Structure 1
Amino acid sequence: MQNDVPDTGGEPRYRDRPVSFARRSGRMSDGQERAWNELGSFYLVPVERDQAVLSVRPGSAVDTETLFGRSAPVIVEIGSGQGHAIVAAAQNAPDVDFLAVEVFRAGLARTMLDADRAGARNLRLVEANAPEVLEHLLPAASVDELWIFFSDPWHKNRHTKRRLISPDFTPLAARVLKPGGVLRLATDWEDYALQMREVMTDAAGFEPGFDGAWAPRFEGRVMTAFERKGIAKGRDIRDLVYVRTDDTR
């Protein structure tokens, strides 16, 4: 696995637990390179870095109304991949502003290409480590919905500590969500789904937004190739949804 911390001669100040992603090497296609160079000035949010390549400098928060040039509901997707879900959502809801958080540049470039073709101008992209985006880049109580669909399950026992949904993550999600805001989760990995539910049951500031064992499939999530692949392999897709309360226990 490639480390995203450059050799600066000092230890990173912020990273006290493993990141939930593995850096992937490889060149972007010519089309992706063009998208990055030609569309990035509109779609990419400038990020001030700390010591690591994908870090966010503390104290560098952005104002979402300034970012989008209007006051509107804000939906953030963490781990947007190639952007299929969020581009479709942005195209279908022009009165809502969307922010995609992803660490893989090729996926961000593909997202920009598709957003530009769809005329989705209510979308912006952030290339950064998601927990730091929630902790440092986004203001408190600035997000109406937070989506995390099919984050890496890190299914080997020795790797489960890298899963994004953990007790360390929930205070960051609670921080950015408005009271009444919604956290939506989905996975095709049963063990991870059970862990997510256990973590959220104990999370301060959240209450379930569903009855029974699992939430119904979120109708606002388009069926992507990734989800179809999980279904084809016989894995059940499990959704969870939680509402931000004023309870901080």
Structure 2
Amino acid sequence: MPRKRRGNGRPKPTGSGETESEFGVPIPGSILPEEAWARTALKKLPQNGAIDIDALFGRHAPLVVDIGCGNGRFSIGSAWSRKDHDHLAADVLPVVIRYATRRGNQRGLNNLRFCVVDGERLVTQLLPASRAREVHCYHPQPFPRPGEGSVRLINPFFLAEIIRVLEIGGLFVVQTDNSGYWKQIISMVSHFFTFHENNDYWPDAPQGRSRREIYALMKGMKVYRGFGSPIEGINYEEALKLSDQLAGRNH
């Protein structure tokens, strides 16, 4: 079968059974026959209220949320290997969601949806309470310039909202290659989560779960990884009060 060519001269896989890679690392899954493709784009978001997750996927299953998903590598891999979990992935950039949607469609991932929305709105307005089994956030924008720390996505109020959307015993995963951001994250997450730093590669993706992680490892950069569940007994109201206290310390 002939292969179309991208603008950069590299062939674009179009045939059933073909695979793709970036930086030499295969993208999980393979392209299925067109009749088996899925529709992974979530184009209309609620103006008011939360997304009806069960209606979106047509079932009730554990939900994995990917905030700032980029080109969707992590969610595609997770949805491919965990068909019994549903996945909702979001990024503020339409161009990367177009790449992600195409790949999700071609792999027939009916347990995956991509949407264009910023992480703050997704977590604070669009996710229902106690519905997510896992929330992942890989390489959020660090905004390392002095005086801009308050606009970073990971802040006490955001962590309180993560507490709200996670089910009991749910998991929060975060990583960055920015040491300053990581120090700030560590200083906050321990107030909300029983948190563990992961000093090794992810066992399911030793070459990197995300495009950014693959790139960072290729460049010899240190990647900071961690995960944790809400501190036992903490609820959303307590987390909000705690976020107010922590925010006050920073002013």
Per the TM superposition, whether the score is higher than 0.5 is yes
Alignment of 1:34-183 (within 5 A): 43-49=41-47, 57=48, 60-183=49-172
What are the ranges of 5 or more consecutive residues in structure 2 without an aligned counterpart?
1-11, 13-36, 239-251
- Residues 130 and 40 of structure 1: CA distance in aligned 2, closer, same or farther (over 3 Å): farther
Q: Alignment identity in percent?
A: 24
Match of 2:223 among 237, 246, 249: 237
Q: What's the secondary structure of 2:194's corresponding residue?
A: strand
What amino acid maps onto 2:42 in structure 1? L
What amino acid maps onto 2:63 in structure 1? V
Contact 1:186 1:237 in 2 (8 A): yes
1:207 and 2:194 are equivalent in the alignment: yes
Q: Normalising by the residue count of structure 2, what TM-score does the alignment of the two structures yield?
A: 0.72
Q: CA RMSD in A?
A: 2.2
Shift of 1:129: 2.2
Contact 2:38 2:109 in 1 (8 A): no
Contact 1:134 1:176 in 2 (8 A): yes
User: Residue by residue, what CA displacement relative to the aligned partner does 1:199-249 show, whole Å, maximum 9, x if unpaired?
Assistant: 11223xx222x3xx5454433456244213222333211111110233234
What amino acid maps onto 1:191 in structure 2? G
Shift of 1:159: 2.5
> In 2, distance between residues paired with 1:117 and 1:84?
14
User: Residue by residue, what CA displacement relative to the aligned partner does 1:142-197 show, whole Å, maximum 9, x if unpaired?
Assistant: 00000001111112123222211111211110000001000001111111111111
> In 1, distance between residues paired with 2:101 and 2:92?
14
> In 2, distance between residues paired with 1:176 and 1:216?
28
- Residues 234 and 110 of structure 1: CA distance in aligned 2, closer, same or farther (over 3 Å): same
Contact 1:40 1:112 in 2 (8 A): no
Residues paired across the two proteins, number:
198
What amino acid maps onto 1:228 in structure 2? I
> In 1, distance between residues paired with 2:40 and 2:71?
18
> In 1, distance between residues paired with 2:72 and 2:161?
23
> In 1, distance between residues paired with 2:127 and 2:223?
29
Q: Normalising by the residue count of structure 1, what TM-score does the alignment of the two structures yield?
A: 0.73
Shift of 1:44: 0.9
- Residues 40 and 135 of structure 1: CA distance in aligned 2, closer, same or farther (over 3 Å): farther
More strand by share: 2
Query: Paired residue for 1:227?
Result: 213
> In 2, distance between residues paired with 1:184 and 1:149?
8
Contact 1:189 1:235 in 2 (8 A): no
Range moving further from structure 2, 194-203 or 69-78 = 194-203
Alignment of 1:3-42 (within 5 A): none
Larger radius of gyration: 2
